[in-house]
Amino acid sequence: MDSEVVPSSKYVTLISGDGFEFIVTREAAFVSATLRGMLSVASNFEEAQTNRVLLENINATCLEKICEYMYYNLTYKDSVDVPDFDVPPEMALELLVAADYLNT
């Protein structure tokens, strides 16, 4: 990971354990309390300076679904009739573990 200091950006890069990068808005990333803490300007985490978060224990397929959920959450956060978020049964356990880690 490059340790170059980048001013707080509208976008952050989430990197899966298998090396895929997902660029999401900072607002979407902040759906996760864990990412919010890591990316907070007031934190001393390297991620806050580089706007890049390596999630070593989450593979690309799972991280893609997590990114999809973050935008889903933003879209429907103030709605009453919220459509179901599609979770493939074969990914349910893996997503549950990742959601617990990310505190989403």
Per-domain residue ranges of the chain: 11-102
pTM for the structure as a whole: 0.88
Q: Please state, in angstroms and rounded to a whole number, the distance separating the CA atoms of residues 61 and 82.
A: 24
What pLDDT does residue 2 have? 45
Does position 68 have pLDDT exceeding 80, yes or no?
A: yes
Q: Which CATH number fits domain 11-102: 3.40.220.10, 3.40.50.1220, 3.80.10.10, 3.30.710.10?
A: 3.30.710.10
What pLDDT does residue 41 have? 83
Does position 1 have pLDDT exceeding 70, yes or no?
A: no
85 contact partners, CB below 8 Å, separation of at least 6: 69, 72
56 contact partners, CB below 8 Å, separation of at least 6: 17
The DSSP bridge partners found for residue 22 are 14
